[in-house]
Structure formats: structure tokens, C-alpha cells
Amino acid sequence: MTETDYLRYLRIALRVVGLIFLVGIYPLTIVWPSGWSWHTGQSEYLQMILGIYATLGVFLIIASKNPSAHRSLIWFTILSSAVHGAIMAVQSLVYPQYIGHLWGDVLALFVVAATLAFLMTGAQRAERL
């Protein structure tokens, strides 16, 4: 891929992830609660985590306009998604009632982290050339 390819795909990925974080997680907790909701019903925890991810989603959409100016936010998203996913993966294996999360939000966070890391690394490498 060329520098413009990495940058173009990074911008698209940031918009898609931003939109999912902003408006896509809540419907998933309704449609597939065993893969996306760690509590039953409308818990305070769910409201808090949705608020955090919606806020991050807004900033990822903003970052998509100029990714190089928002590197630290993008790397925060990558690393926090990987760490969050790893913690939830362990919890899913330790507590059998949460095993469905391995195929829901755990997998999604790893996909987000891997995709953004691949595109961000490529864009930064191409930028240096």
C-alpha cells in the first residue's frame, strides 16, 4: 500500500470505529446482551461505559480529518482497546457466564486495536519516507 492508501484507510477506519463507538454499542447490548452487556438491564455501569465510548467516538471522528495531528488519541484508542479486551478476555474465561463476550465485545476490541495499529503504523512509516 502507498502512503495515501494507509492514510485513506486510516481515515475511513477512524470514522467507522468512531460511529460504532458513538451510536453502535448500545443497540448491540440490546440485540446481543450475552456478547455485549456485562450486566442485566440498564445498569449504571452500562451507562458509564456507553458515555465514555460515545465521547471517544466523537473524538475519533474529529481525528479522522487529520490523523497525524491526533496520533496520541489514536494510539490511546489502540492500546486501551487491547488492554480492555485482554482484561475482559480473562474475565470471560474465569467466569463462565461471560464466555459469550469472547465472540462479542472482546473480539471487537481486538479487531479495532489491530486494524488501527496496522493502519497507523503504515501511515507513520510512509510519512517518514
Query: What percent of the chain is modeled with pLDDT above 90?
Result: 81
Give the per-residue pLDDT at 1.
80
- Of the ranges 43-47, 50-54, 118-122, 123-127, which one carries the lowest mean pLDDT score? 123-127
Q: Which domain holds residue 56?
A: 3-128
pLDDT digits (tens, 9 = 90+) for 52-97: 999 999 999 999 999 999 999 999 999 999 999 999 999 999 999 9
Work out how many domains the chain is built from and give that number: 1
Give the per-residue pLDDT at 128.
76
Query: 68, 25 in Cβ contact below 8 A?
Result: no
Distances (CA, A) of 14 to 80, 87, 95, 104, 129: 15, 23, 32, 20, 23
Task: Say which amino acid occupies 59.
Answer: F
Give the per-residue pLDDT at 129.
67
Query: 88, 81 in Cβ contact below 8 A?
Result: no
